[in-house]
Amino acid sequence: MDPLELLIESERFSHDIKMVFIREYQKIMDKYELSSKQSVIVNFVHQKQQPTMGEIAQMIDATPSAASQFVKKLEQLGYLKREVNVDNRRETLVTLAEKGEQFFAEMEKVDTYIFKKYFLKLPADDIVEYHRILKELHSIVTSST
């Protein structure tokens, strides 16, 4: 098989795998009643620790006003909180609130469950290779955006 055919077939496998994982994560999404976009924003805040409203707007490809509305709703729901940056009073920082922390604690439990149920069935060398490939692909993708 040529490389393009291998990638096409690999993407089909990846899609099937993602569908299984989505079912696991969807249980938590349903419990917390988060939309996909809300989940993306909460995840971004979790990863970045204290992103600015501008960073959130850029990440979701929205205007600062639209991003502010998303964050306001998530703040009302108890997932996020906004704070004025003490170093730059014109900047608002966003952090996880208590419900956001609880959400991620449950998501991390599902991550661990998935790793144990599926990934750890692979030989250790394959896991190392998988990590190497994803790290390299991550570098390619993030440096070209």
Give the pLDDT of residue 81: 97
Q: What is the DSSP string of 37-86?
A: HHHHHHHHHHHHSS-BHHHHHHHTT--HHHHHHHHHHHHHTTSEEEEE-T
Is the confidence at residue 138, as pLDDT, over 80? yes
Per-residue pLDDT of 75-127, as tens digits, reads 999 999 999 988 888 889 999 999 999 999 999 999 999 999 999 999 999 99
Give the pLDDT of residue 46: 96
CATH class of 35-143: mainly alpha
